[in-house]
Amino acid sequence: MDSDLAEPLDLLDPSIPDRFVDGSADTLFARLRHEAPVHYCRESRFGPFWSVSLYEDIVEIEGQPQLFSSDAKHGGISIIDVDPEQATYLESFIMMDPPQHSQKRRTIAPAFTPSEMARLAESIRERTVTCLDALPRDAQFDWVQKVSIDLTIDMLAILLDFPWDERHKLRVWSDAITSLEMMRNRPEERMTKLFEMASRFHELWQQRSQSAPQPDLLSMMVHSPEFGEMGAAEFMGNLATLIVGGNDTTRNSMSGMIDAFGRWPEQWEKLCADPSLIPNAVSEIIRWQCPALHMRRTALEDVEFRGHRIRKGDKLVLWYVSANRQESLFPDGERFMVDRPNARRHLSFGYGIHRCVGARLAELQLQILLGEMVKRKMRVTPTGPVEREPHPFLAIINAIPVKLG
């Protein structure tokens, strides 16, 4: 797909899903950062939109929620527009503006405090040790299936106190929520799965409402005035947000790091030689993999931005994946370096009022996984191509065949 990068700027479409599989997105965004950091695409499968590709521009827009909205009624947070006929199924706290967003976030935030992370750490470590020690030592296997999915689905089940013997359903529902293929070709089947999700969580909601408050995230919501009286619309949307946010993003970071270490094996050696680099390496994994490729905002009024006239109702796509490669901030940004000095400055968690509320938990899970792998000097070698989903919103990795060295 690199051949079209020589075309006139006004013909470029950064959102083509295959770009995020074949790697041409990196080349395209490098061009946009230098030639058109605020770029208008008139035609795409997702409609017309502005691309914002520079770090400082994204930060400025995210810092003005009164001008640039995340609200579902204006289109939500993804380039994939909320379907007006189904918008009621997609409302959630992440697709709200102040003051509603702030009120909802305050309810959820206690589930991710340092004290809660300390409480969860031993459980995460035990499950990680069990998972790694069970991996085959003399046969090829899929890292995504054996490690990334199992660890993140288990964590999500613990976070929500979801019935343990049913936790596999969380993966099915998460995949249905994010699947472009199902949205386009099997919308009825997708909605059936989402209604199954809502029905099961409604049963759990009723049970928790009749019990004393507990530290799990679902109980916190049940017993809060901000979430306690949700309608069906917001109920389904919030569940979708928590399931995808608590599963997909960390899952794909756990998978992406294997791709990164496979490309730059000397970085694994550096990490094993100096385990104190693990926290920084986690930030670099999240920067390099960039699990959420973008967030979308919608202009609430006509505004001039960097010399461009943005009209009320225009869609702005804030490309985190581009900001995380910006040469002026991250020299040689396409490379993965566990000792990158400013790796924590990445935008993968967003910025401002919508910064990922579960960032600490994502980092903790990755730190423990890396720490246990380093203890074992566990060299994981990819043995085949990484299978990536053609998706413009999430950096989804479906499979990585590997062998332990």
Pairing of strands 397-399, 294-299: unpaired
pLDDT category of residue 237 using cuts at 50, 70 and 90: confident
Nearest to 78, CA basis, from 19, 164, 17? 17
Single out the residue of 146, 194, 188, 145 nearest to residue 169, CA to CA. Answer: 194
Instruction: Please state, in angstroms and rounded to a whole number, the distance separating the CA atoms of residues 48 and 315.
Output: 7
CA–CA gap between residue 9 and residue 286 (Å, rounded):
30
pLDDT of residue 5: 67
**pLDDT confidence tier of residue 248, bands split at 50, 70 and 90:** confident
Share of the chain above pLDDT 70, in %: 96
pLDDT at 400: 98
Tokens found for residue 332: 């040689």
Question: What CATH code is carried by the domain that includes residue 273?
Answer: 1.10.630.10
Task: Specify whether the CB–CB gap between 351 and 62 falls below 8 A.
Answer: yes
**Lowest mean pLDDT segment, chosen from 120-134, 224-238, 333-347:** 224-238
Distance CA 289, CA 60 (A): 23
Q: How far apart are CA 76 and CA 72, in angstroms?
A: 4
In the structure encoding, which two tokens stand for residue 108, read together? 């959820």
Please indicate whether residue 90 or residue 120 has the higher confidence score (pLDDT). Answer: 120
Residue 240 pLDDT = 83
d(CA 381, CA 151): 20
Domain count, the chain: 1
Determine the pLDDT at residue 210: 92
Q: What is the mean pLDDT of the chain?
A: 92
Can you give the residue range of the structural domain that contains 119? 2-404
Structure tokens given for 294: 């973008």
Higher-confidence position of 216 and 376:
376
Predicted confidence (pLDDT) per residue in 323-356, tens digit? 999 999 999 999 999 999 999 999 999 999 999 9
Looking at residue 109, its pLDDT comes to 85
Q: What is the pLDDT of residue 4?
A: 59
pLDDT above 60 for 2: no
For the stretch 65-83, pLDDT in tens is: 999 999 988 999 999 886 5
Tens-digit pLDDT profile for residues 147-177: 999 999 999 999 999 999 999 999 999 999 8
In this predicted model, what pLDDT tens digit does every residue of 257-314 receive, in sequence order? 999 999 999 999 999 999 999 999 999 999 999 999 999 999 999 999 999 999 999 9
pLDDT at 372 over 50: yes
| Residue found by looking up tokens 């006929």 in the block | 85
Cα–Cα distance measured from residue 292 to residue 319, given in angstroms and rounded to the nearest whole number: 9
Identify the pLDDT of residue 288.
98
Q: What percent of the chain has pLDDT over 90?
A: 73
> Using CA of residue 254, residue 259, residue 265, residue 266, what is the dihedral sign?
negative
Q: How far apart are CA 10 and CA 16, in angstroms?
A: 15
Q: Tokens 């980092």 label which residue? A: 363
Q: How much is the pLDDT for 83?
A: 59
Rounded CA-CA distance 111/144 in Å is: 26
pLDDT of residue 89: 46
pLDDT digits (tens, 9 = 90+) for 204-221: 999 999 999 888 888 888
User: To which residue do tokens 């990484």 refer?
Assistant: 386
Asked whether 382 and 400 are in contact (CB, 8 A), the reply is yes
